[in-house]
């Protein structure tokens, strides 16, 4: 039983938020110094429940962090530990070695690709591949930066999680863990199918091309296809089993990273929204009762803590959110453009539409789940409207004004917020853009497919 470690963890809270703004830091520290330590110790001791079995965000997200380690994303040491305070960012750790390795190999791949492109001439079409690689590299760096601030984030979050496991907060129907597992599995499987279709579509095109245009049918094998697919790898490495695996692995890493970025935002949003909903449930339970002002003050404090956690998450993840949205929009724009391009084989159509729809769905999922944080944060409002005038005090009024005045949710450096409205704006712009291009397309002469062997 390492309850004592939790107490020291709570005292760590004092140092946790080295946010740029001195005011915000001092504010947080002072408040948390007072309450958290005492409350936590008392609760855990009394509840007698092992906190490792509690339905915390850390417990739910841990499997994803473990998998991410394999691809050098979010290098944290002791990620297998069930105790969030063991998990820290260390510059000299196995995770960092992995990350360094990926950055090195990914960097080489990127430089070589860039080299090829600049030789043949950069244009809007072939740029997409390069952007994909560069975004990947930037994301590895972003996640490494996020890993550095991970312990500053997970400790207050865990303490809030523990707080909300006990009365007066009611547990939610479905545990956070099962929710996150479900969503992660579904999106993950769809991503794997997407990745496999990529190879299938590529190989089939290659196969048909060789079959019809070359007499040398010895090059029909899957191996020859890979030789072409990973051509920039084979400029440095000889062709053998190992280097083929290496090619697959590096490709998979970039694809995984891209999907992980979105999934991670979704999972975090769902977890935050859940806490806000639990909070609203607690407020609802008070309906019809005579609530003393001190209790309202306590509730309001909890609300401020939740809001501060949300703003801490927003601050830490801003660059990841910005990168995710920018990249998704860019790829959608590029894909959407090709809707009316004639493709040669049915498998090409399948891959094209599958990946486009999957991307649209994933992007919408990111926006919709993040917008749920804000929606959930406004839920207590309806209960408060029904407080009768005899119980209506200054505290309740302040609570109402607090609820309505601030925006709670994720954003990309506060340049834009992940809301339904933003999603609609994005979609509307996309559609306008698409319509414009279609009309331009309709005007130009429509050539058929170019000769297969040209």
Where in 157-176 is the site for a second copy (CB under 8 A)? 173
Which one of residues 178, 293, 345, 353 is an interface residue with a second copy (CB under 8 A)? 293
Nearer to a second copy, 243 or 383 (CB): 383
Which one of residues 4, 22, 120, 216 is an interface residue with a second copy (CB under 8 A)? 22
Q: Kindly state the smallest distance separating residue 450's Cβ from a second copy, in Å.
A: 15
- The residue range among 144-152, 200-208, 228-236, 389-397 that interacts with a second copy, by the rule CB under 8 A, is 389-397
Q: Kindly state the smallest distance separating residue 94's Cβ from a second copy, in Å.
A: 36
Q: CA-CA distance, 85 to 88, in Å (whole number)?
A: 7
Q: CA-CA distance, 219 to 232, in Å (whole number)?
A: 18
Alpha helices in 121-175 (DSSP H): 127-148, 150-163
> Would you count residue 342 as binding a second copy (CB under 8 A)?
yes
SS3 assignment, position 411: strand
Q: CA-CA distance, 187 to 262, in Å (whole number)?
A: 10
Contacts by 424-431 with C-beta closer than 8 Å and gap 24+?
426/329, 426/367, 430/329, 430/332, 430/333, 430/336
> Would you count residue 400 as binding a second copy (CB under 8 A)?
yes
- Considering only residues 250 to 269 of the shown chain, the ones binding a second copy according to CB under 8 A are none
Q: Kindly state the smallest distance separating residue 439's Cβ from a second copy, in Å.
A: 6
H and E: helices and strands count for the chain: 15, 2
- The residue range among 134-142, 182-190, 252-260, 296-304 that interacts with a second copy, by the rule CB under 8 A, is 296-304
| Residue 39 C-alpha from the chain's centroid | 32
Nearer to a second copy, 222 or 297 (CB): 297
> Would you count residue 12 as binding a second copy (CB under 8 A)?
no
Q: Kindly state the smallest distance separating residue 58's Cβ from a second copy, in Å.
A: 25
Q: Kindly state the smallest distance separating residue 237's Cβ from a second copy, in Å.
A: 29
- Considering only residues 124 to 143 of the shown chain, the ones binding a second copy according to CB under 8 A are 124-125
Q: CA-CA distance, 154 to 151, in Å (whole number)?
A: 5
* Nearest one of 321, 269, 323, 316 to 89, comparing CA atoms: 316
> Would you count residue 454 as binding a second copy (CB under 8 A)?
no
> Would you count residue 379 as binding a second copy (CB under 8 A)?
yes
> Would you count residue 4 as binding a second copy (CB under 8 A)?
no
> Would you count residue 214 as binding a second copy (CB under 8 A)?
no
Which one of residues 129, 237, 402, 452 is an interface residue with a second copy (CB under 8 A)? 402
Q: Kindly state the smallest distance separating residue 338's Cβ from a second copy, in Å.
A: 11
The CA-CA-CA angle for residues 414, 156, 8, to 5°, reads 145
- The residue range among 71-79, 98-106, 143-151, 409-417 that interacts with a second copy, by the rule CB under 8 A, is 409-417
Nearer to a second copy, 238 or 385 (CB): 385
Q: CA-CA distance, 81 to 88, in Å (whole number)?
A: 11
> Would you count residue 420 as binding a second copy (CB under 8 A)?
yes
- The residue range among 116-124, 134-142, 182-190, 235-243 that interacts with a second copy, by the rule CB under 8 A, is 116-124
Report the 3 state secondary structure along 211-278.
HHHCCCHHHHCHHHHHHHHCHHHHCCCCCCHHHHHHHHHHHHHHHHHHHHHHHHHHHHHHHHHHHHHH
Reading the block at residue 420, the tokens are 């339904």
Q: CA-CA distance, 161 to 57, in Å (whole number)?
A: 7
Which one of residues 66, 101, 428, 452 is an interface residue with a second copy (CB under 8 A)? 428
> Would you count residue 24 as binding a second copy (CB under 8 A)?
yes
> Would you count residue 281 as binding a second copy (CB under 8 A)?
yes
> Would you count residue 341 as binding a second copy (CB under 8 A)?
no
Q: What are 411's strand-pairing partners?
A: 417
Q: Kindly state the smallest distance separating residue 438's Cβ from a second copy, in Å.
A: 4
Largest CA distance in the chain: 91
> Would you count residue 277 as binding a second copy (CB under 8 A)?
yes
> Would you count residue 111 as binding a second copy (CB under 8 A)?
no
Cis amide leading into 253 (omega within 30): no
> Would you count residue 38 as binding a second copy (CB under 8 A)?
no
> Would you count residue 23 as binding a second copy (CB under 8 A)?
yes
> Would you count residue 360 as binding a second copy (CB under 8 A)?
no
> Would you count residue 413 as binding a second copy (CB under 8 A)?
yes
Per the document, the length of the chain is 454
Reading the block at residue 414, the tokens are 């506060």
SS3 assignment, position 88: strand
- Considering only residues 54 to 83 of the shown chain, the ones binding a second copy according to CB under 8 A are none
- The residue range among 56-64, 75-83, 228-236, 432-440 that interacts with a second copy, by the rule CB under 8 A, is 432-440
Q: CA-CA distance, 344 to 341, in Å (whole number)?
A: 10
Q: CA-CA distance, 326 to 322, in Å (whole number)?
A: 6
């Amino acid at each position: 039983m390492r309850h004592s470690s939790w107490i020291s963890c709570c005292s760590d809270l004092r140092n946790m938020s080295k946010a740029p703004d001195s005011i915000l830091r001092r504010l947080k520290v002072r408040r948390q110094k007072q309450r958290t330590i005492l409350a936590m110790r008392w609760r855990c001791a009394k509840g007698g429940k092992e906190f490792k079995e509690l339905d915390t965000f850390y417990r739910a997200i841990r499997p994803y962090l473990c998998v991410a380690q394999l691809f050098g994303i979010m290098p944290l040491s002791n990620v297998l530990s069930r105790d969030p305070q063991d998990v820290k960012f260390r510059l000299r750790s196995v995770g960092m070695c992995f990350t360094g390795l990926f950055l090195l190999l990914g960097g080489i791949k990127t430089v070589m690709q860039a080299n090829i492109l600049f030789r043949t001439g950069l244009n809007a079409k072939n740029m997409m591949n390069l952007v994909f690689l560069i975004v990947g590299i930037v994301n590895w760096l972003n996640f490494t930066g996020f890993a550095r601030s991970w312990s500053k984030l997970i400790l207050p979050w865990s303490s809030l999680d523990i707080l909300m496991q006990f009365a007066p907060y009611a547990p939610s129907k479905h545990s956070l863990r099962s929710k996150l597992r479900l969503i992660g599995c579904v999106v993950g499987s769809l991503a794997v199918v997407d990745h496999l279709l990529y190879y299938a579509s590529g190989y089939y095109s290659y196969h048909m091309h060789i079959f019809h245009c070359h007499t040398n049918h010895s090059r029909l094998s899957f191996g020859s296809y890979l030789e072409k697919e990973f051509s920039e790898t084979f400029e440095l490495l000889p062709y053998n089993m190992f280097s083929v695996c290496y090619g697959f692995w590096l490709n998979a890493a970039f694809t995984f990273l891209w999907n992980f970025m979105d999934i991670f935002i979704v999972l975090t949003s769902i977890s935050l929204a859940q806490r806000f909903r639990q909070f609203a449930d607690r407020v609802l339970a008070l309906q019809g009762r005579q609530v003393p002002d001190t209790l309202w003050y306590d509730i309001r404090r909890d609300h401020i803590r939740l809001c501060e956690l949300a703003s801490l998450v927003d601050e830490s993840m801003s660059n990841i959110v910005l990168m995710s949205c920018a990249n998704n929009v860019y790829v959608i724009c590029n894909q959407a453009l090709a809707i009316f391009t004639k493709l040669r084989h049915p498998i090409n159509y399948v891959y094209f539409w599958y990946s486009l729809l999957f991307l649209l769905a994933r992007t919408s999922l990111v926006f919709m789940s993040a917008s749920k944080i804000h929606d959930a944060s406004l839920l207590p409002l309806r209960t408060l409207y029904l407080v009768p005038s005899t119980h209506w005090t200054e505290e309740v009024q302040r609570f109402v004004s607090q609820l309505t005045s601030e925006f709670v949710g994720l954003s990309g450096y506060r340049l834009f917020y992940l809301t339904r409205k933003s999603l609609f704006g994005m979609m509307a712009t996309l559609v306008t853009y698409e319509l414009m291009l279609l009309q331009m397309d309709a005007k130009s002469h429509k050539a058929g497919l170019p000769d297969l062997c040209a």
